[in-house]
Chains A and B, each alone.
Chain A
Amino acid sequence: MTPKRRMLRLFALFGFLLVLCPVAPAQSLRMPPHEKFVLKNGLTVLLMEKRGVPLINVFALVKTGAAADPAGQEGLASITAGLLRKGTKSRSAQQFSADFDYIGGSFGADAGADFTNIGAEFLTKDLARGLELFSDAVLHPTFPRNETDKILAQSLDGVKSAKDEPQAVLGLYYGGYLYGSHPYGRPSDGDELSLRRIQRDGVVKFYEANYAPGNTILGIAGEFDAAEMRKKLEETMGVWTARAVANTSISAVPPAKGKRLLLVDKPDATQTYFTIGNIGTAVNDPDRVAIRVVNTIFGGRFTSELNEALRVESGYTYGARSFFDSRKAPGPFEIVSFTKNETTTPAIDLALQVLEKLHKNGVTAEQLASAKSYIKGQFPPTIETSSQLVRRIVVDEYYGLGDDEVNQLEARVDAVTPAIAKQVIDKHFPLDNLVFVLIGKASAIEPAVKKYADKIDQRRISDPGFWPPLAGSQK
């Protein structure tokens, strides 16, 4: 159901666990063994045999994502991914769905900022069929005109539907307002303006320019025999023709200076939804484990400072949290919460006080010990299933991270001291330079929230797009 999907997206942002500093290996937690090889056409393959339930998970990562959408055509990478299953050389969209559904399998494709991901799941007994269907969609999509028109119109209505629910779009406004014309400011699923500009020709060009074996990492995890799988892959994904792909790079953006605030008016809102933050960190930041430890204390769990203050002690909200959405280039850092119209400024004031307190007091030894236990104790269920593991090995491969992200996690977490935490707070958690985005009833909250920034911007939620006002004005 639609709202369920949005909730998943919203809460799926706790980010990756990423580590670097070399310390003695921890014994208790190991990445299960897996093998890596490259097919003749340049496709990188990762295989992990995992017994338990007779399921297989396939996850392909194309190293081009929404950040490569041409300005003004935001959503192109997502539309391209969405169309993979909507018609191939040998199957109509309807036939593809009928075949995949018949084996009880699932198939999905989407684009995030840094990469496109294509995933499938099916029973081990249906391996041959599942793999054939998967490669059919990846290698032989035809992008039928009627299906392209349909998905564009549906996506347009999808944006409207999302705007009916402030929680579903808060991050999109924040991304746009924080990053401006930088590619990370683009809504990955497009907006009411950009989706009208995308044409079938552009989709075909995007596919041809970016979908190639040399630009793709394929992972498979689950109950299978690796030698047999390798043979099957050569027959299916191995016939994908190699072709040159232009390298995509993404520039880093320095954190925003000063304070600015975007107020998005939703006249019927009885609650204000807010994000406060700045540019955060890249996925391979050497401080990533220490950042995770500190953020666990600050806003990354139920007893975090933020949730304690805004929920447990004051009752202002059902939840308050913070996270680093780390990407190839520095991604956003966000403090997120919501509160009824009347307590909008008390809640935001309190969130800012908690942030100031973090900078002033750092973290205690007791808090550090607790956060370390928490991270270590909660980590194993995140590498429990083949669907989790396949995504992790492929994404880590893409970002140039190895198994030590898992194998060294405990040691690296344990190595964080109060002094290191203090350095991380100073370096990575914003204080004086802050970007605010609020969705709420402007007539009720506007006068009070002006105090947070010198620069105030306003728009109505019904205005097309997220930010800037006209996607066409982007260079």
Chain B
Amino acid sequence: MKAIWYRSSALLLLCLLGISALPAWAQSQEFPVSTRTLKNGMKVLVQPDHSIPNVALYIFYRIGSRNEHPGTTGLSHFFEHMMFNGAKKYGPGDLDKVMEANGGSNNAYTTQNVTVYQDWFPRSALSLIYDIEADRIRDLTFDPKKIASEREVVASERRLSVDNNNFGLLDEQLWASAFIAHTYQWPVVGWMSDIEHWTMDDLKHHFEMGYSPSNATMVVVGDISPDEIFQLCEKFIEPIPSHAPPPPVTTIEPEQLGERRLVVHKPVELPIVMIGYHIAQTNDPDFYALNILRSVLFQGESSRMYQRLVDKDQLALDVSSDVEPAFDPTLAIITAQPRQSVDPQACEKAIYEELDKVKGAPISDQELEKAKNGRLVEFYREMRTISGRANTVGTYEVFMGDYNKLFDAAKNYSAVTKEDVQRVVKKYFGANNRTVATLLPESEEKAKP
């Protein structure tokens, strides 16, 4: 979750659902998606749903902090903010004012991999939304005054979510240590000194690099028909010329050959432990077995880690795992908050022991079944709103390469065996492959000799 940065926090509720979990949708006939690729290369996916008179429109650009360079880290996220700050027809501030006056709202988020723009609106605003989106994709402007004030907004966002948020702070340090070569090593929001120093030229270059229509996928779900969406796309989006996509990210993170450890000291009440393991990218066949493994270990109060750390040994207040969709090999992160006066290393030891148990003996049939059931309910939970569906369809299309993988998910999850789960835990969750980040109360450290 730390790897996702939103333009505005009040709408966070709509977007929290775990896009890392892509379970089963059995009845494909209930879920027709129409597609078209525009002449400029943008692919459009449409799914009508008339249960409410509203529309969710998501545009996924395949550009994120992994496309950045030292000195301008955080530029993708900052650029995401600038996409709301004025184009040719809708000047600074107009986009939000016009959209809200017509019953719509918006947000956007940036990750290491993608930048996603989200519009939610009554169907009466449909053609207006296309006018607005086309305007900013085609003719974004850069007002120096807006750049200056937006720089402060993003600095405040960083203070909120990293500098004054211990989980955010430790997460940032973990990625920075786990990756020594690949661009996943820097934070999506950017280092503070980079936030303070990027220039107008950096922004213009970023726009030219990442915002070609051919580098984007549009998903529309709601009270619409595919034909009307394709007509609007022909009118507003198709005339926008395409250009070269961002240069490929060619760096491959070298294999980690030994445990890495780091410590952060702060005046805090409770410590935090985060353990990151290098795992495969989202479109790897191991994706499904990894998700089943994470369910067995972390999902629900009957999960192995909860039972051991929170319930039985009472070592931790909470224990969870997190994986974000990723184009390149990424991290599975385990987070635990030790209880008052519990040594964080006791939490670590219990986590390793639970991982070793799965390596030593296969999980039970019951656990496997439970994990699959959990994934199914989670999936329905995402699919029951038009915004959840727009996000899920887009995520499959962008990260799996084809939204049709959605219809294979049920099959792929039921194909996972106990042996698969054991294989992935052995493959990825070894000591040499982990980075351990610990946040310690300052006073404890000072008390040491």
Interface of A toward B, CB cutoff 8 Å = 1-4, 7-8, 11-12, 14, 28-29, 52-55, 85, 93-94, 97-98, 100-106, 121-123, 150, 153-154, 156-158, 160-161, 163-167, 267-271, 301-303, 308, 311-319, 321, 338-340, 369-370, 373-374, 376-378, 380-381, 383-386, 462
Distance A366 CA – B218 CA, assembled complex (angstroms): 32
Cβ contact within 8 Å between A161 and B121: no
Set of chain A residues within 8 Å of B106, measured between Cβ atoms: 302
B339 pairs with A157, CB closer than 8 A: yes
A375 CA / B121 CA spacing, docked (Å): 11
Q: In this assembly, does B376 line the interface, its C-beta being within 8 Å of a C-beta of chain A?
A: yes
Residues of chain B within 8 A of A339, CB atoms compared: 156
B residues near A301, Cβ cutoff 8 Å? 100, 105
Contact B270 A160 (CB under 8 A): yes
Are A8 and B105 CB-contacts (below 8 A) given A150-B314, A164-B269, A271-B159? no
Which residue of B96, B122, B152 is within 8 Å of A377 (Cβ)? B122
In the complex, what residue of chain A is closest to B49 when comparing beta carbons? A52
- In the complex, the chain A residue whose C-beta lies closest to that of B380 is A53
Contact between A311 and B300 (Cβ–Cβ < 8 Å)? no
Q: How would residues 288 to 327 of chain B score, 1 for a CB under 8 Å from any chain A CB and 0 otherwise?
A: 0000000000011111000100110010011010100000
A303 pairs with B160, CB closer than 8 A: no
Check A378 against B105 for contact (C-beta < 8 Å): yes
Residue of B nearest to A162 (CB): B269
Q: How far is the CA of A302 from the CA of B101 in the complex (A)?
A: 11
By beta carbon, the residue of chain B nearest A154 is B317
Q: From residue A461, how far is it (CB to closest CB) to chain B in Å? A: 9
CB neighbours of A166 from chain B (8 A): 164
Cα distance A434–B147 when bound, in Å? 34
The residue that A381 contacts in the complex, of B124, B166, B339, B387, with Cβ under 8 A, is: B387
Instruction: Give the residues in chain A near B337, CB-CB below 8 Å.
Output: 2, 161
- B residues in contact with A311, CB < 8 Å: 153
Interface positions, chain B 319-362, Cβ under 8 Å from A, are: 320, 322, 335, 337, 339-340
Query: Given the interface contacts A101-B303, A376-B122, does A52 sit within 8 Å of B51 by beta carbon?
Result: yes
**Residues of B with C-beta under 8 A to A302:** 8, 10, 96, 100, 105-106
In the complex formed, the residue of B with least CB distance to A5 is B318
Question: Is there contact, CB below 8 Å, between B160 and A318?
Answer: yes
Docked-complex contact A380 and B53, CB < 8 angstroms? yes
Q: How far in angstroms is the closest Cβ of chain B from A69? A: 22
Instruction: Select one of A12, A308, A385 contacting B385, CB under 8 A.
Output: A385
Binds A, one of B240-248, B367-375, B401-409, B424-432: B367-375
Contact indicator B97/A370 (Cβ below 8 Å): yes
Contact B103 A376 (CB under 8 A): yes
Instruction: Report the minimal beta-carbon distance from A413 to chain B, rounded to whole angstroms.
Output: 11
Which A residue sits closest to B171, measured CB to CB?
A3
Interface pair A378/B377, CB less than 8 Å apart: no
B78-131: which residues lie under 8 A (CB-CB) from chain A? 93, 96-97, 100-106, 120-122, 124-125
B52 at interface (Cβ–Cβ under 8 A)? yes
Known contacts: A105-B377, A268-B267. The answer to whether A317 contacts B153 by CB under 8 A is yes
Expressed in whole angstroms, the Cα–Cα distance for A270 and B155 within the complex equals: 11
Is the CB of B13 closer than 8 A to any CB of chain A? yes
Question: Which of A101, A377, A462 contacts B121 (CB under 8 A)?
Answer: A377
Residue contact A102 to B373, C-beta cutoff 8 Å? yes
A381 lies within 8 A of B385 (CB): yes
**Could you say which residues of chain B place their CB within 8 Å of the CB of A165?**
164-166
Query: By the criterion CB–CB under 8 Å, are B300 and A160 in contact?
Result: no
- Can you name the residue of chain A whose Cβ is closest to the Cβ of B158? A318
Complex Cα–Cα for A104 and B381 (A): 11
Is the pair B52, A318 in contact by a Cβ cutoff of 8 Å? Answer: no
7 contacts between A and B (CB under 8 A): A7-B12, A101-B374, A160-B269, A165-B164, A271-B160, A302-B8, A376-B103
The reply to whether A380 and B314 form a contact with Cβ atoms under 8 Å apart is no
Q: Is B163 an interface residue (CB 8 A)?
A: yes
Given A160-B269, A303-B96, A377-B102: A121 and B13 interface contact (C-beta under 8 Å): no
Which residues of chain B are near A374, meaning CB under 8 Å?
Answer: 100-101, 103, 105
Known: A302-B105, A381-B120. A55 touches B384 (CB 8 A): yes
Tell me if B151 and A315 are in contact (CB < 8 A). yes
The reply to whether the CB of B157 lies closer than 8 angstroms to some CB of chain A is: yes
Asked if B152 contacts A316 (CB within 8 A), the reply is yes
Task: Give the nearest-CB partner of A4 in chain B.
Answer: B1
Smallest CB separation, B365 vs chain A (Å): 11
Does B138 sit within 8 A of A, measured CB to CB? Answer: no
Contacts A3-B168, A4-B16 known; 14 new A-B pairs at CB < 8 A: A7-B9, A8-B13, A28-B53, A101-B299, A123-B373, A123-B376, A164-B268, A270-B159, A340-B155, A340-B156, A373-B103, A374-B100, A383-B52, A385-B385
CA–CA, A312 and B369, complex, Å: 50
Expressed in whole angstroms, the Cα–Cα distance for A97 and B306 within the complex equals 11
Contacts of A105 in B (CB 8 A): 377
Q: Determine whether the beta carbon of B157 is less than 8 Å from that of A318.
A: yes
Nearest CB to that of A314 among chain B residues? B149
* Docked pose: A432 CA to B320 CA in angstroms: 47
Residue of A4, A14, A101, A103 with highest tally of chain B CB at under 10 A: A101
Q: Is the CB of A123 within 8 A of B167?
A: no
Q: Taking the complex as formed, is B206 at the interface, i.e. its CB lies under 8 A from any CB of chain A?
A: no
Chain A residues with CB under 8 Å of B300's CB are 97, 100-101, 106
Complex: A153 Cα to B270 Cα, angstroms:
14
B420 within 8 A of A: no
Separation of A413 and B146 alpha carbons in the complex (Å)? 34
Q: Judge if B386 is at the interface, Cβ distance under 8 Å.
A: yes
Task: Name the B residues within 8 Å of A154 (CB-CB).
Answer: 310, 314, 317, 339
B9 touches A318 (CB 8 A): yes
Return chain A residues, CB-CB under 8 Å to B154. Answer: 318
Rounded to whole angstroms, the CA-CA distance of A106 and B381 in the bound complex is 11
- B366 on the interface (CB 8 Å rule)? yes
Report whether B163 and A270 are in contact in the complex, using a CB–CB cutoff of 8 Å. yes
**Inter-subunit contact A377/B160 (CB<8 Å):** no
- Say which residue of B101, B303, B320 sits within 8 Å of A369 (CB atoms): B101
B416 to A: closest C-beta gap in Å: 15
Q: Is the CB of B93 within 8 A of A312?
A: yes
* Bound form: Cα–Cα A122–B311 in Å: 24
Distance in angstroms from A220 CB to nearest chain B CB is 16
A179 to B249, CA, bound (A): 56
Which residues of chain A have C-beta atoms less than 8 A from B373's C-beta?
102-104, 123
CB distance from A296 to the nearest CB of B (A): 9
